[in-house]
Each structure stands twice: as structure tokens, then as C-alpha cells.
Amino acid sequence: MCGFVGCIHGSDGQLEKHREILDAMMKRIVHRGPDSAGYFEDEQVSLGFRRLSIIDLTECGNQPFYSQDERYVMVFNGEIYNYQELREDLKKLGHDFISETDSEVIIRGFEEYGEDVVAKLRGMFAFVIWDREKKEAFMARDGFGIKPLYYTNHTTDGSFLFGSEIKSFLDHPNFIKEFNELALRPYLTFQYNPLEESFFKGVYLLAPAHYMWVKEGKVEKSVEYWGKRFHDQTDESRSLDDYVKDIQDTMKESVAYHKLSDVKVGSFLSGGVDSSLVTALLKPETTFSVGFDQYESSFNETDLAQDLSKQLGIENKRQFISGQEAFDALETIMYHLDEPDSNPSVVPLYFLAQLARKDVTVVLSGEGADEIFGGYAWYQPTRLSDYYRKLPLGLRKIAQHIWHQEGKTPSRISQFVDRGVQPIENRFIGQALVFPDQEAYSILREPYETMMTSTDVTMPYYKRVKGQSDLNKMQYLDMNLWMPGDILQKADKMSMAHSLELRVPFLDKEVMELAKTLPERYRADYTDTKVALRKAAEEVLPDAWAHRKKVGFPVPIRHWLREEPFFTAVHDMFLSDISSEFFESDVLLQLLDDHRDQKGDYGRRIWTAYVFLVWFKRFFVDDKGACHTVMPHHTYC
């Protein structure tokens, strides 16, 4: 696991003090690779690399890597789990190797296969290969978007910057740091940025399962090399037991690949089936858990993690987090994320990674199981809804009209009749919904109350699976929006903040290819989620763990926001000039007061606005960097 930065020089050419600039950019991401640094520079490009040594701990594994004729230069972040097989294939084709690393397989493979090498890689990766002869760059990202790769030419001279984290751009003097006003309203609804463009104007994240060619500071070609659509038709002749056996075999293989390392490996463990299954298959020396021991017990799953660890004969280390620790760390958390994300689980994940890094350098975790095996409550059908939707659409619309005409207050029944006439495209935007579109619009000031709706964001993804079932559509949307935009961003950034490599065995190419074939009833049915996966887990887990309901990563935000000193901290932020730039502050303050007075639970709304303001202050007020900064309508000092 590593990090890299780079610049394809623009019209200004190689800048004066170019090495100092590159060093400053690399210092920003030293947490991604504290073990060593590497450089490549010529008149066209500058590359910087930070290494966290995992496989082949010798200097032979240092980057940048070169092709045998030194035409190509590569920087790479990630792990290639099938590198040993690829290495043997390439040796048979006449390629020589100077190291035992997985990194070298990529550039030797590029020499042999060109851009087709990406389809052969099984792992998590983001890499850039510079062609010194054609003066062009090839950039690629893994199929799920586990590893980030940002890029921009929003610079004063057309320089093309790229790297593992946006913050590295802040120390390039030609980068234009400017707030992307289009991102705020979608963020308030989704809790993360669901757009292709980041919160920094002109800065983009290469899409998962894509590669692109860059020449003269511009993207010349972008290609999707792998798809994650579920099969329209499945093999109905196969039984549940057949699929269960496939899942067991494939997950065992995936975990075996993911534990390859020359350093110590542990696992994150909660009370859910996903991390429990990974842990039972991995059998590490140590598992790690965090929780909150205040308020009701629903905020603490560490007892469950300890119980399972004991049954498996594994040491469990746990830590409890206080509200004060969470608030004190929030600015640092937002800095490492690069973009605001109000998913409450970001906070405990930061502390969990910090805890694990004291003992190990690599951890395995359970991210991705819900999206590919059908683990969210939204995915479950209900008999009543299925029966109701069999009625003619005209009758359902009449029922809806009558209900609303009588002026009944919003309730579960009104939601039921509304959903009964709406297609899934109009009622599902993913696993998070904080401010509904109109509410987001009502709290924003000009020009941030853009007319972009949540449907505008999701519809391009739905169009790709037009005609498929509702379940297939929801899972496809989550895998392409929610998972890379929220789940995997926080997993990468929170682990790397502590120089910890996080691996996700569920997000393996072969696991996904199997999941695509699962009939819907083996993903989610009337009584359960992850039907086939849970049954597969029975082989190595007690029934209580295999069938425990999903609870997420519970965080007591609603309690904190009713207490001191947290209420006052948020109140003061909502009164600030920064808040009045973006929000109707009186609306936010009223939400905060109503929440404290328990007139409603507005914790997620308040937290989402507060997190954004903490993020903006950190990057646009406190962090000057060496770049050109374009502030919004007011200037904050």
C-alpha cells in the first residue's frame, strides 16, 4: 500500500524549485507510505512515490518501476493478489524480474499486453504509467474503486496533476483551489459527494473499472474495462446448496489471496456476519473492535466481537470512544477524507484503524458484502407491496389521490401508497438520505441551491440497467455510487491516515462474478437479507453470527448534539460567517434547538451540515498551501 503524486507539465514547463514542489506534495501523503520515497523527473513529467512496505520488504520493491528498456515509468498504489500466477506467465514469455513484488508484474504486463493488462489483474489498484517516447500517460483504477486516483488540469498553465489524494495538489503553485458549488446540494442529500467532479472544482476521481490515456494535459480516451451488472437470467436448475458451496469455495480462495503479506495481518471485527466470516476464514492472531460504552447498549458491538474471538481462539483488542474524542478528531478526519462525508461510521473507523496499527500493518475487513450479496433492508421485498403492485396502476393512482385529497398527515401508509405508483428510479437513491431534495434547497443560499436533484444524479446509472429487476437496479446503483463514493473512500482514507493497509476480500473479481449469477431469492427474500451468504457462513460461524441482523456501525450522534460542549460547538459554527456563506443559518439553528428540545431527531441533518463546515474551514480557510485559491463570495481570515 502506497501513495503517489505526479504532474505532466503545462506551458510553464518544469518549474523552478521543481524538486521542492514535488517533495511538498509527497509530504502531504507521507501517511500513505512512511517507509521510503522515490522520484522520477524529466522535462515533461514529475512523479513522486511514498511506500508502505507489504510485499518484498527490500529496496528492490521501491518505486518508480521501469520497463526493461526504461521507456515506461510506473507508480502504483494497491495490491495485486494473483501476481504470482501472472509473474510465471510473463517469465514464460521472456520477461525478467528484479524483485518479488506484485508491483513489477504490472509494468512487465504492460510491456507485454498494453492496456489489456488491467483485465488480467485481480486486486485493488490505482497506477500511472508514463510513456517517455510518446509522452503520454496511461492511468487505471481497480474494478470496484477500492484505491483512489484523482486528476485535474484546473491549473494556471494547463499542467495535469494526479495523485492518490487531493490534498497533495495544494502544494503545487499552479493548482487553482476553487470550491465546486455544484457539489453541496447533492452532498446534503446523499451524505457524500456523488458527482464525478469533487468538491474542488475541476478535480475528478477516475471512475472504478476504468482506464484512460492522457496526452498534452488532456484526457484523450477513457474506457470501462469491466462491468458489474447482475445477470438478467439465472440458472434456475441450481439449488441454494449449489450456490452456497460456490460461495464457500470462492470466499476461501479470496481470503487466502488477501492474506498474502510479508508483514503481520489482522482483521476488523464487529458483530455482523461480514467481518465475522472474513475473520473465521482468516484466523488472524488478533482482531480489532471499537464502540461507544455510553447511552444504550446498541452503540456497542465490542462484546459480540470479543465473544466470537474467544470461540475462534483469537485475541480481540477493543477500544471505547468518547464524544469528546470524536469531536476533537473530526477536523483531522475531514482532512484525511479530502471531501466531506457525514457517514457517522467514519468516526469509529478512524479510531479502529488507529488501534489496529499499533499491532499490524494489514487488516482484512467486510466491506462490500451487502452490496454484492444483498444485505440492506431496502433490498427486501414485502408480500404486501408485491400484492399491491399487482393491482392495475390506475387503481393505485386513485388510492394515492384519495389518500392525499383527504389531507391525512404523512405516515407509513402515505409512503406506502406513494411508493405503489412510483418506479424504483424515483424512490431509491442509495443507502443514505439525509436532506430530501426540497429540504436541501430550503436551507441553501444562492448560488448553492442548484436545481440538480437526486434523481439527476442516479438516473445515468439506472439507464445502464434499464429493463432489469428492481433488486438488480438497486444493487447496481449502490455498487457504482454509494460503495465507491462513501464506503470505500472512508475505508481507504481512514486506514491510510494511520499507515494501515485495509483489504476487502468480498470485493474480489471472482467473488463478484459469482454474485452476478445468484438468483434474487438467494440474495434477499421476504424474511432475510444475504440469504445465500448467511447459509454459507454457517460452515465456519455459530448460527447467532451467521444470521444476526445488520445494524451498521452505530454512533451516538443524536445524543452528543443535545449535550455540552458539543451543542455549543455546533451552535457557534452555525452562527459563523462561513455558515452564512452557504446556509440559511437561522434554519440550521432552529433544527439544532428543536433537536436539543427533543421535538424531533434531526441529528443526521445537523451533523451533515456541521461536517461540511468543518471540512470547508480546514481546506479553504486554515490551509493556504502554495496554490492559487479562489474563495467563494466572502473572504475568511
Residues known to be catalytic: 2
Cell of 609: 451540515
> Quick check: helix, strand or coil at residue 516?
coil
d(CA 226, CA 510): 12
* H/E segment holding residue 280: helix 273-282
Cell of 476: 447496481
State the CB neighbour count (10 A cutoff) for residue 185: 23
d(CA 75, CA 22): 14
The shares of helix, strand and coil residues in the chain, as percent rounded to the nearest 5, are: 45, 15, 40
> Quick check: helix, strand or coil at residue 451?
coil
d(CA 616, CA 199): 10
Packing angle of the helix pair 302-312, 273-282 (nearest 10 deg): 30
First-last CA distance in the chain: 37
CB within 8 Å of 424: residues ≥ 6 apart:
462, 470, 473, 474
d(CA 145, CA 244): 27
Cell of 157: 498553465
Query: If you search the block for the grid coordinates 443560499, which residue do you land on?
Result: 445
State the CB neighbour count (10 A cutoff) for residue 11: 11
What CA–CA distances, in Å, run from 26 to 29, 36, 164? 5, 11, 10
Pick from 351, 313, 345: nearest CA to 332: 351
Cell of 429: 437513491
d(CA 473, CA 468): 7
Q: What is the distance, to the nearest Å, from the Cα of residue 233 to the centroid of all Cα atoms in its chain?
A: 29
> Quick check: helix, strand or coil at residue 314?
coil
Give me the amino acid identity at 278.
V
In terms of phi and psi (left: phi > 0; alpha: psi -120 to 50; beta: otherwise), the region of 630 is beta
d(CA 550, CA 455): 27
**Alpha-carbon torsion 143, 145, 147, 148, what sign?**
positive
CB within 8 Å of 398: residues ≥ 6 apart:
none
State the CB neighbour count (10 A cutoff) for residue 118: 24
State the CB neighbour count (10 A cutoff) for residue 409: 5
In terms of phi and psi (left: phi > 0; alpha: psi -120 to 50; beta: otherwise), the region of 209 is left
Strand order in the sheet with 65-66: 65-66, 72-80, 123-131, 136-141, 210-215, 218-224
Does residue 336 contact residue 248 with C-beta atoms inside 8 Å? Answer: no
Pick from 337, 351, 366, 364: nearest CA to 292: 351
Query: If you search the block for the grid coordinates 448534539, which residue do you land on?
Result: 561
- Using alpha carbons only, how large is the chain's radius of gyration in Å? 25
d(CA 342, CA 346): 8
Query: If you search the block for the grid coordinates 470479543, which residue do you land on?
Result: 306
Give me the amino acid identity at 454.
S
